[in-house]
């Protein structure tokens, strides 16, 4: 079984779009993808599928793409797995990128594994970092150079794993929203737009999308300058009122850990962490949060971190600027009171 490995191709980002808008996560990915392409001295291409979306190509160039592969067809107007996978696999085989990146959105997680399976390629989900490096398999002298290091916390979060693909291509990874910093668009940037021919028939689209209902997100965590987050330690949905009250007194966004969301204390829109949103606020107040690595991965770049927990050994204290060991039911009301007094002064 020999597969000709491709280490010369470009870096690609799947520019997921719905209803004529490019999703935020792929745009965030463009910054890191640009850096990967520059490091490897290859080009960065964005792959845009849809119908009548040509005007989005310019946006992708401004965000760093040297090339935009534009695959348009009426049958691509709405996403479904088989049509998008077929077109993307065709493009991958035609142009042979060495790396393909996707946002770990609902669509990305539906599409990327289907492509990985068809290409018999490796795919690493929810990466928290991407780097370029060399790898020498144990017991051999052969060095695999300039591989994509796909980095993510693993297995209960006690370790960080660096995953690589040495003998398949393309190297693929998905990245959650907020993990990569949104790059600044460069209005002067020029790029090449390549119109691709698409062959699709209705028989190749097995799903009928009968209805779709989207609610706007309840909170914009990425834009928040201050976040007050509660963990399982808060104890109940009723007690989460403390989080909302403290957030209100600071003009902050309320948030929760995955544990708090799973327990029903707060809605999934408010989830911070590796499988939620990654945030970088000026101030992150962690209330009753132990600090598992999957949560820390989502907030450890906050400018200042205040942690309140009654367990002095909670891992969150390892990254907090201000450590308060105490009962949150006592400390949070004191903080609200102190804020009110400062405001009055």
Partner 1 sequence: MGYDCIVLVKQVPDTKRITGKVMNDDGTVNRAALPAIFNPEDLNALELALQIKDRFGGTVTAVTMGLPAAANTLREALFRGADRAILITDSKAAASDTLATSYILSCAVRKLAYDIVLCGRQAIDGDTAQVGPQIAEKLGIPQVTYVERLDDLAGRTITLRRSIGNGWQLVRTQVPVLLTVVESANTPRVPAAKKMMKHKNAKAPIEIEKQLRAENPQFGEIQIKSRLEQAVHPLQQRGSLIHQWDLADVGADLAWCGRSGSPTKVHRIQSVVLAAKESKGVEPTDDGIAGMIGELIEDKIIA
| d(C-alpha 328, C-alpha 228), whole Å | 12
Strand extents, DSSP E, 19-143: 21-22, 44-50, 67-72, 99-103, 123-127, 129-135
Identify the DSSP state of 181.
P
The residues near 338 (Cβ < 8 Å, ≥ 6 apart) are: none
Nearer to partner 1, 49 or 57 (CB): 49
By CB under 8 A, is residue 211 in contact with partner 1? Answer: yes
By CB under 8 A, is residue 7 in contact with partner 1? Answer: no
* Stretch binding partner 1 (CB under 8 A), from 92-100, 184-192, 211-219, 234-242: 211-219
Angle at 108 between CA 103 and CA 109, to 5 degrees: 115
| d(C-alpha 178, C-alpha 221), whole Å | 9
Locate 170 and state its tokens: 């393309």
* Stretch binding partner 1 (CB under 8 A), from 68-76, 148-156, 183-191, 195-203: 148-156
Nearer to partner 1, 49 or 247 (CB): 247
By CB under 8 A, is residue 168 in contact with partner 1? Answer: yes
By CB under 8 A, is residue 95 in contact with partner 1? Answer: no
Tell me the per-residue interface mask from 216 to 235 with partner 1, x by CB under 8 A, - otherwise: xxx-------x---------
CB of 156 to partner 1, least distance (A): 4
Residue 98 CA to its chain's centroid (Å): 20
| d(C-alpha 42, C-alpha 98), whole Å | 10
By CB under 8 A, is residue 202 in contact with partner 1? Answer: no
Q: Which residue from 109, 189, 222, 280 is in contact with partner 1, where contact means CB under 8 A?
A: 109
Place of tokens 């706007």: 216
Output the CA torsion 287→288→290→294 (10° steps): -60
Contact between 133 and 156 under an 8 Å Cβ cutoff? The reply is: no
Nearer to partner 1, 38 or 159 (CB): 159
By CB under 8 A, is residue 75 in contact with partner 1? Answer: no
Number of residues that bind partner 1 (CB under 8 A): 89
By CB under 8 A, is residue 269 in contact with partner 1? Answer: yes
By CB under 8 A, is residue 135 in contact with partner 1? Answer: yes
Nearer to partner 1, 195 or 204 (CB): 204
By CB under 8 A, is residue 42 in contact with partner 1? Answer: no
By CB under 8 A, is residue 123 in contact with partner 1? Answer: yes
Contact between 245 and 228 under an 8 Å Cβ cutoff? The reply is: no
CB of 140 to partner 1, least distance (A): 13
CB of 65 to partner 1, least distance (A): 25
* Stretch binding partner 1 (CB under 8 A), from 53-61, 63-71, 81-89, 183-191: 81-89
Q: Please tell me whether residue 222 adopts helix, strand or coil conformation.
A: coil
For the chain, report the end-to-end CA distance as a whole number of angstroms. 75
Nearer to partner 1, 22 or 147 (CB): 147
Full DSSP string of 104-122:
-SHHHHHHHHHHHHHHT--
Q: Which residue from 230, 273, 298, 315 is in contact with partner 1, where contact means CB under 8 A?
A: 315
Q: Which residue from 42, 92, 289, 335 is in contact with partner 1, where contact means CB under 8 A?
A: 335
By CB under 8 A, is residue 201 in contact with partner 1? Answer: no
Q: Please tell me whether residue 58 adopts helix, strand or coil conformation.
A: helix
Kindly identify the residues of this chain, within the stretch 234-263, that bind partner 1 according to CB under 8 A.
250-251
* Stretch binding partner 1 (CB under 8 A), from 50-58, 66-74, 110-118, 179-187: 110-118
The residues near 134 (Cβ < 8 Å, ≥ 6 apart) are: 143, 144, 145, 146, 147
| d(C-alpha 264, C-alpha 260), whole Å | 6
CB of 46 to partner 1, least distance (A): 22
């Amino acid at each position: 079984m020999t597969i000709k490995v491709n280490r010369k191709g470009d870096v690609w980002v799947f520019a997921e779009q719905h209803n004529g808008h490019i999703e935020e996560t792929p745009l965030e990915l463009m910054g890191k993808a640009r850096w990967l392409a520059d490091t490897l001295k290859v080009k960065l291409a964005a792959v845009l599928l849809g119908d009548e979306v040509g005007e989005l190509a310019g946006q992708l160039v401004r965000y760093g793409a040297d090339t935009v592969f534009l695959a348009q067809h009426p049958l691509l107007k709405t996403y479904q797995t088989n049509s998008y996978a077929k077109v993307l696999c065709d493009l991958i085989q035609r142009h042979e990128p060495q790396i393909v990146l996707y946002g770990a959105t609902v669509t990305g997680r539906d599409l990327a594994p289907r492509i990985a399976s068809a290409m018999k390629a490796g795919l690493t989900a929810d990466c928290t970092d991407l780097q370029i490096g060399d790898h020498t398999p144990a017991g051999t002298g052969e060095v695999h150079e300039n591989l994509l290091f796909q980095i993510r916390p693993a297995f209960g979060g006690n370790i960080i794993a660096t995953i690589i693909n040495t003998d398949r291509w393309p190297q693929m990874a998905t990245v959650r929203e907020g993990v990569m910093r949104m790059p600044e668009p460069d209005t002067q940037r020029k790029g090449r737009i390549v119109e691709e021919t698409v062959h699709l028939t209705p028989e190749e689209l097995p799903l009928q999308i009968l209805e779709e209902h989207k609610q706007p997100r309840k909170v914009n965590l990425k834009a928040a300058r201050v976040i007050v987050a509660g963990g399982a330690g808060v104890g109940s949905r009723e007690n989460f009122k403390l989080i909302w009250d403290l957030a209100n007194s600071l003009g902050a966004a309320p948030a929760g850990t995955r544990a708090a969301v799973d327990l029903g204390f707060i809605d999934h829109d408010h989830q911070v962490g590796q499988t939620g949103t990654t945030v970088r606020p000026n101030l992150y107040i962690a209330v009753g949060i132990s600090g598992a690595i999957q949560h820390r991965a989502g907030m450890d770049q906050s400018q200042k971190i205040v942690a309140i927990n009654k367990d002095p050994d909670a891992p969150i204290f390892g990254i907090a600027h201000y450590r308060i060991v105490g009962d949150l039911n006592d400390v949070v009301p004191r903080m609200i009171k102190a804020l009110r007094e400062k405001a009055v002064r």
